[in-house]
Structure 1
């Protein structure tokens, strides 16, 4: 499986990425081995996750989410959560 995700950093910033191993990616972000953007903003909390069959689908969705402004990202996160 391939995943597109959004994590929230301790300073409130949001980071979007894709991976085929979500547990390892979150562990990497929290240990400081994650993306350069989150190294100074860890630890992170997973706030949104989407599953895809192919890497290309996950990467395409990541690009769509990265183009969203913060307000739209927050709406996406809120709409995906269970009541």
Structure 2
């Protein structure tokens, strides 16, 4: 049975770009990205560094939070990484 707890995560590419995603298992998903089996956006952009992860609730809340973070400026994402937290999207 899949976990009902979802996480938002950010990965930094070698060029400094930030990739945002959601998953129920950050370690597994990051391993997939590093092996080239994850998002096409990250292929060939290694080494990859997992720079942020936070539990954000159920799938619906995670999806809303992901959309909100993807709309943020890079400088706001950097501030979020430094602070180590983001407020999940409201249900």
Do the structures match in fold with TM over 0.5?
Answer: yes
Unaligned runs of 5+ in 1: none
1:55 aligns with 59
Listed as ranges, the matches of 1:1-83 within 5 Å are: 1-80=5-84
Query: In 1, Cα distance between the equivalents of 2:69 and 2:58?
Result: 17
Q: CA deviation at 1:53?
A: 2.8
Query: In 2, Cα distance between the equivalents of 1:67 and 1:52?
Result: 17
Q: How many residues align?
A: 81
SS of 1:60's equivalent in the other structure is: helix
Unaligned runs of 5+ in 2: 86-91
Q: Which runs of 4+ in 1 moved over 3 A?
A: none
TM value normalised by structure 1:
0.89
Equivalent pair of 1:32/1:42 in contact (CA under 8 Å): no
